[in-house]
Structure 1
Amino acid sequence: MIYLHHNYGPHGKLKSPNCMVDSRFSLKITDFGLHQLRGPPPPPTDMKSYYKNQLWSAPELLRKYSNHGELLGTVKGDVYSFAVICQEIIYRKGVFYRPDISEPEAIVERVKSSPPFRPLLEVSSQEGKGCNPDLISLVQNAWSEDPSLRPEFTTIKMTIRKFNESGDTDNLLDNLLSRMEQYANNLEDLVAERTEQYLTEKKRVEDLLYSILPKSVASQLIRKQAVKAESFDSVTIYFSDIVEFTSLSADSTAIQVVDLLNNLYTLFDSIIVRFDVYKVETIGDAYMVASGLPQRNENKHAREIARMAIEFLKSMSTFKIPHRPNRELKLRIGIHSGPVCAGVVGVKMPRYCLFGDTVNTSSRMESNGEPKRIHISRTTMSILRTFGNFIMSRRGLVEMKGKGKMETYWLHGEYGNIVYPPAPGAVLVDNDPNLVNEAPPSQPQLQPPAPPTSSCDNGSSCGDLTHAAMVATTNGVADGDQQPLITSATTTNVTQHMTTTAVNTGISPKNPPSPKSAAGTPTSSNFIRAT
């Protein structure tokens, strides 16, 4: 408009329909400098359109050229038209918006008359809240009733530039290109930040999935691969439950039971991370763990489960029931080793399930166990024997539901880490056949005691230890194809080396301590170590 006024004079018909935007988003003014044909007034049918075109016209022009005469523009009249266009942009509700009047003819008549009548423009209005107050003041000055009070376009341009604190140019496309350059410079940082957030969320989801399924199985599901059922020749399965849990639950509220199980399983979960095991599931007070699947670990699965079970029992000495702090929590543990088949079952809530007789046998080992004891099968005992550092004793033949009689054993701990000592007269499983031929280097050699005079379990006189060993050998055979734990070759050695009736945590495979009585003298023992 500055250029137009300087070179051609006033526009005379400045209005929003004459403001065009080119391909570079630059504003262009049209409909000026053309010769006009004088003609008769418009017919009554077009009067509404005629008055609507006059809504951008200054009041002094409307009064001067009444009776539908041709309006001639002025510089100050263009400033007035600019102010009306600004109000139109701010409110976006059409030209000369007022909520109380909408007919163009009525608006024109009100503008021509006194007092001054202008479009709605208030900072307090909903539409004007985001508008700069200085801009509203500029618009109000531009449509002043007195043309001499209206600013020139040069003044308007300088005032608007003060509003532009960011230094944007008049060309919208240049402004867009400048902003795109800024976005491009910052894009790498934004991408890195969003990528880090994505990876963090992805890791959370994966960790949650890995806590539900084995990592190898979960990875296959993440890659949308089918997880096929797989057979495992030898794994070890752990079952445990809380002794007298039913009576404890009956004396507790539901919230107290939930808190108890949550504290207990949180403790167990913190322990199993130290071993190569997989937590299969928890059902009520039952806790099921397996080792040797889905990643095979040779015969280490029995050792991992055994050590885990030992740590579970040890942790019970410090565990407190929140609402019954004086009541001891007792675990009953059963362990069995054997073949299983494992696979993912379900789609909505997939579960990694184990199938096979080994699972059932492990459950039977737990249910037929005793409080604060680790009950293991002969298969598990045979594997643990190969490591040479576990202390086990023979329990005997136990009637198992659906299994008949099975020979089972107690796991007491490892050398240096015994959770409970074997009972007097228990038949210990000897991990090292040469142990009975070695005397402890730091203790005197024990002399064979006098033959016992007590009766054996079958009511007959034992006579000597050789006979007792043979009785243990006979009872140690679960079925015809099992090998006895005590052989005739080692019976003589067992007779020559009697050990203490109390096994303490200082026992080592090659240096068992010499037992002493309360007076400090060595004592005899009824323990029989079996090879």
Structure 2
Amino acid sequence: MLETKPRILVVDDHPALVTLTRHKLIQKGYEVLTAQNGEDALELARTEYPDLILSDVEMPVMDGFELCERIKKDSRLNKIPLILVTSMVTTEYIMRGIEAGADNYLTKPYDDDTLYTKIKELLQNPPPPVSEVSTVEVNIEGKTYNILADYSHLVNLLISTYKNTLAQNNQLSEMQSGLNAANKELEITKQEHEELIHNIFPEKIAENLLAYGTVTPERYEDSTIMFTDFVGFTKVVPDLSAEQLIESLSFYFDKFDDFTAQHNMIKIKTIGDSYMAAGGLPDRNSTHPVDAVLTALKIVDFVRDFSKKSLSETPYLPIRIGVHTGKAVVGVIGKKRFAYDMWGETVNLAARLEQHSDENQINISETTYQRVKDFFECEPRGDIETKYMGKVPMYFVKRIKPDYSEDDEGMFPNRLFVREYNSISRQHQL
């Protein structure tokens, strides 16, 4: 006889809570599926047939009440026990859950033992599915509820709910003393989030990946892509050991990471000696063309400055940069080794602009130029023939305009620059 772990579907739109609950149930020997709303949970239930569903009530798209009702009306799924979880300890919420067909109820906060006990009881003694004729009309606090249950099932459910509330009252002091342990578990979860966030993904993307294992692709109508590439890198590589090669790339890319973070950009990836970053995502904004150019100026300034005073073993590597603004599709690919990436014509053109840039120069497109020309001095280059894209108008960014610059070299914005920049940002928020 084949033995399998009981499979529990946890449904909640708070990633940190999903992650914490999943860890606890896995430690108890359960297999755990996760979903972030009732609609996703219903689809999972129809394909994975979990042994029990633990669902929050307050969720977007489809709440826990509707999920419960649809599960109990589906002849293929109505044998699956379902526990509803809510922070709203009101008669109406409890009765709505019972009316929807919930097999048990948990009110937040609840202790782990109560959760484990309810799950164990329902897995060992799942309630039989009820039919449409088993309707009980209940009047309570001036409202009428039609419950799909016989009287014994209804009484058992109400007693179970009452016992849960009573147990919570008796265990408040114990829960208080157990907060330190819970905080430690939350800290572990927080560290997992932060490690993933800081090393690979933007915060919103990391939280969804950690909790649900997937991220819905998004189409951005307005974003800015920046590519960098080292000039003459292939000629330097043969003279470097493997350790020196990695150390050299890390030396440069670590600084690039700092500059992108300073100017509201995110690193997308590195491919060999190429570095890709983007602005205007995952949180949309209207300043990303300016952000990208400011980042590029910082990178060029750092590289040039390093060439003047470098006494280390790290080789001086001049840089080429290309920047373009336009539409893109953003998402996560892979099932085990995730990669946050971008696709579209905007990405391709930004790469072409980098290839047609010069040493320690920032090459931007016409679209980006129109968005940044008030802030930066730009040198028109005319239409330049590019592979697969024909002739493309290009511009070199030379510096911040003197009226907007804090320094003589035009590398740092002054207060007027910041004021105009903030004005663009506010217009987007209105």
Structure-2-length-normalised TM-score: 0.51
**Residues 373, 350 of structure 1: alpha-carbon distance in 2 compared, 3 angstrom cutoff:** same
User: Per-residue deviation at 1:251?
Assistant: 1.1
Compared CA separation, residues 242 and 309, structure 1 to 2 (3 A): same
1:309 maps to 296
Map 1:68-467 to 2 at 5 A: 191-211=178-198, 212-224=200-212, 226-298=214-286, 300-319=287-306, 324=313, 328-385=316-373, 388-416=374-402
Distance in 1 between residues matched to 2:412 and 2:183, nearest whole Å: 53
Q: Sort the Cα spacing of 1:394 and 1:418 in 2 relative to 1 into closer, same or farther, 3 A.
A: farther
In 1, Cα distance between the equivalents of 2:394 and 2:319? 18
**Per-residue deviation at 1:194?**
2.7
What residue identity is the alignment partner of 2:277? V
| Contact 1:415 1:506 survives alignment (8 Å) | no
C-alpha distance in 1 between matches for 2:409 and 2:306: 23
Larger radius of gyration: 1
Q: Is the 8 A contact 2:400 2:411 kept in 1?
A: no
Give the Cα separation in 2 of the matches to 1:418 and 1:265: 28
Give the whole-Å Cα distance in 1 for the aligned partners of 2:402 and 2:185.
Answer: 48
Q: 1:413, CA displacement in angstroms?
A: 1.8
Identity of counterpart residues, as a percentage? 28
Moved more, 208-217 or 233-242: 208-217
If asked which structure has higher relative contact order (CA below 8 Å, sep 6+), I would say 2
Partners of 1:192 and 1:364 in 2: how far apart?
A: 55
Tell me how far 1:228 sits from its aligned partner: 1.9
C-alpha deviations, 1:335-368, integer Å up to 9, x for none?
0111111111112011111111111111111011
Q: Matched residue of 2:178: which SS?
A: helix
- Deviation digits for residues 96-131 of structure 1, max 9, x if unmatched? xxxxxxxxxxxxxxxxxxxxxxxxxxxxxxxxxxxx
Shift in Å, 1:505:
4.2
Task: Quote the Cα distance in structure 2 between the aligned partners of 1:333 and 1:418.
Answer: 22
Residues 295-336 of structure 1: CA distance to partner in whole angstroms, max 9, x if unpaired?
A: 1102x11011011111111111343767546x5321100001
Q: TM-score, normalised by structure 1?
A: 0.42
Contact 1:415-1:508 within 8 A present in 2 as well: no
- Decide whether aligned partners of structure 1 residues 507 and 237 sit closer, same or farther in structure 2, where only a CA change above 3 A counts: closer
SS across alignment from 1:328: coil
- Structure 1 position 214, deviation (Å): 2.1
Output the amino acid matched with 2:398: H
Gaps of 5+ in 1: 1-183, 420-502, 512-531
Unaligned runs of 5+ residues in structure 2 are 1-170, 417-430
Mapped partners of 1:262, 1:404: distance in 2: 35
Asked if 2 retains the 8 angstrom alpha-carbon contact of 1:260 and 1:322, the reply is no
From the superposition, tell whether residues 311 and 351 of structure 1 become closer, same or farther in structure 2 (CA, over 3 Å).
same
Q: Would you say the 8 A contact 1:239–1:287 is kept in 2?
A: yes
- The change in CA–CA distance for 1:418 and 1:319 in structure 2 (over 3 A counts) is farther
1:222 shift after superposition = 3.3
Q: CA RMSD in A?
A: 3.1
Give the counterpart letter for 1:389 in structure 2: F
Partner Cα distance (1:228, 1:508) in 2: 37
The total of aligned residue pairs comes to 240
Distance in 2 of aligned mates of 1:348 and 1:201: 21
Describe the shift of the 1:316–1:418 C-alpha distance in structure 2 as closer, same or farther (beyond 3 A): farther
Ranges of 4+ aligned residues in structure 1 off by more than 6 Å: 186-190, 506-509
